[in-house]
Amino acid sequence: MMYQIKSKMAILVLGLIVLVSCHGLEDLNENPNQIGSDNVDPNLLVGTVISGTAKNVVGLGFGEMAGVMQHTQKDGWSSGHNAYDWSNDSHSWSGYYRLLTNNKTLIEKAEADNLEFHIGVGLVMKAYLFGMITDLWGDAPYSQALRGDEGAEFFDASFDDQKDIYLGIFADLARANTLLSKNQSEYFGIQPNQDVLYSGTVSQWRKFANSLALRYYMRLSAKEPGLAEEGIRRISSNPGQYPLILDASNDANVDYVGTSTSDSWPTNTKFDVDPQGAYFRIKMAATLVEALQALDDPRLGVWANKIEIPLVLATGEAEDTDDIRNGERYVGQKLVDDHLDIVGVPVNFDKEYVGLPTAIPLGPAYNLKKEFNQGSFNPHVSQLNDIYKEASGPLLKSRLISAAEVHFILAEAALKGWASGGAEAHYNEGVKQSLKAWGLEADYSSYIAGAAYGGLEDIMEQKWIASWTSAAQSWFDYRRTGLPDLQAGPAAKRPALPLRFYYHIDEIDNNTQNAEAAIQKLETTSFKGDDVSNNSAWSKMWLLQGTGEPY
């Protein structure tokens, strides 16, 4: 079990005064009591940065990215989740930069005290957070960011090219790998209970650093294949120098404490007792349910409940038949036809699992639900498994990176001829490690017989499935490969999946010159629609320009 954050961590977070890249702080008085690198214990900052990052990972991967990648759909308050109805006030990066400022203080204090473990941890988390920012938005403040305390000239930070941010990430992770390469006994100042990820185990952090580098080299594989191949070959061919996360027991997971709303799983019903709360709004998406059913995948039963009342077509009976018999609801043909006219999709008569179709116009009425109120229990659609009602639990984790993901990266690399070991072997191991992560390792032999390797599409499908609750990673894979082949629903804002977040209006208004320069570098697509500038969720950042993917 991972150690959890102590209450003093929350006090520290409230006490930290943060300067990010935004304009408008010229009149801020200097605070002689401000917490900085000269008067803070770096161990406290380790927990702050990890827990904040972990919360963002779930916020994305179990939130809107789960909607985009059709792991889940909402039948209430669903426009951003199901339909990508985003704009330039939808997503702000300020929270990431607040974490990065705390992380900068961690690194500075660790360097002043020569704490190599803490420097290494800070570099890994810096790479992770800047990686998220550039993956989500594109060009962003990087080399001149986090310097607002140095003077007014740093309030309006320039945007670095996306490629340069990735190169900086590789440099930080390479340095972290070196710093974390000694024996555990050679490090000092570690407080295991403050490291809520790996409890101060240096070798685990080293694996995390190299696995993260592998993720980002593959991220660049379509845009910069030479750079990607060199990095992947170097890391994958030398496990002594570049150890990786290869077993689910080493996954970078952060547990939930479950003592308050802020440290509990987001769909818990312990603190959110509203019958239209988050748990009842979120349903399994039909796309994922049907993919899992086709594979007879045991993960379906871990992630979703069976429907409470199956539907049965009352063949040969009155067209308006509608009654419950032996726990099943018998419905006549007229109700079925009316449902298609009203909801736009046919009734699903599956007796076990039914997912919510993507971005349908009237989700609350799907599958003949009688009450059309939003975000409530639907007896004819699969709810999430009851474990997602809990505030904490053995499977409720923020999953930052996993052995399954690493093996699927190596499988794709082997397919390209960039790594040894064979694509099929790594694919099989990726499936095995994902099943193990969900307590299903015993099902591997029977499962793989029906999910045999057949090429890139299989790798990407299994990687997509394995990204459950961390779906942002599958979104980034989709953008560079077009896989899995997902289609936007009828009520989606555009007839294609989005590619990035809009730069936020606050950044545009307060850092105008730099933001506008970055926006001009974006490449529009045919799905830009009525967005008034290149700043569109359907514009291509540098990473995607010239690749032909995903459209």
> Cα–Cα distances in Å, from 150 out to 26, 374, 517?
11, 49, 24
For residues 19-26, average pLDDT: 33
CB 528 within 8 Å of CB 538? yes
Q: CATH number, domain at 485?
A: 1.20.120.840
Tell me, what amino acid is at 501?
A: F
Mean pLDDT of the chain: 93
Domain assignment present for 35: yes
Q: Which domain holds residue 175?
A: 7-66+77-250
> DSSP secondary-structure letter at 244?
-
Q: How far is CA 417 from the centre of its chain?
A: 28
For residues 292-320, average pLDDT: 98
Taking only the tens place, the pLDDT of each residue in 126-161 is 999 999 999 999 999 999 999 888 887 778 999 999
Q: Which residue blocks in 295-367 are alpha helix, DSSP H?
A: 299-303, 333-343
> Quick one: 458 and 327 in the same domain?
no
> Quick one: 177 and 113 in the same domain?
yes
pLDDT score of 340:
97
Of 490, 516, 540, the one marking the end of a domain is: 490
Tell me, what amino acid is at 449?
A: A
191: nearest Cα among 56, 47, 61: 47
pLDDT score of 537:
98
pLDDT score of 371:
84
> Quick one: 167 and 198 in the same domain?
yes
> Quick one: 286 and 379 in the same domain?
yes
Q: What is the largest CA-CA distance in the chain?
A: 82
- Distance from C-alpha of 231 to C-alpha of 34, rounded to nearest angstrom: 41
> Quick one: 415 and 316 in the same domain?
no
> Quick one: 368 and 415 in the same domain?
no
> DSSP secondary-structure letter at 209?
H
> Quick one: 123 and 219 in the same domain?
yes
pLDDT score of 10:
35
> Quick one: 188 and 216 in the same domain?
yes
Both tokens assigned to 127 = 């790479």
Domain assignment present for 548: no
Taking only the tens place, the pLDDT of each residue in 379-396 is 999 999 999 999 999 999
For residues 282-303, average pLDDT: 98
Domain assignment present for 273: no
Taking only the tens place, the pLDDT of each residue in 26-85 is 232 333 334 444 567 999 999 999 999 999 999 999 999 999 999 999 998 999 999 999
> Quick one: 192 and 305 in the same domain?
no
Domain assignment present for 2: no
> Quick one: 158 and 183 in the same domain?
yes
Both tokens assigned to 394 = 């053995």
3-state secondary structure of 464: helix
Domain assignment present for 546: no
Domain assignment present for 441: yes
> Quick one: 421 and 380 in the same domain?
no
Both tokens assigned to 116 = 């190599």
Tell me, what amino acid is at 323?
A: D
- Distance from C-alpha of 342 to C-alpha of 239, rounded to nearest angstrom: 57
> Quick one: 226 and 103 in the same domain?
yes
- Number of structural domains the chain divides into: 3
* Confidence bin at 6 (pLDDT 50/70/90): very low
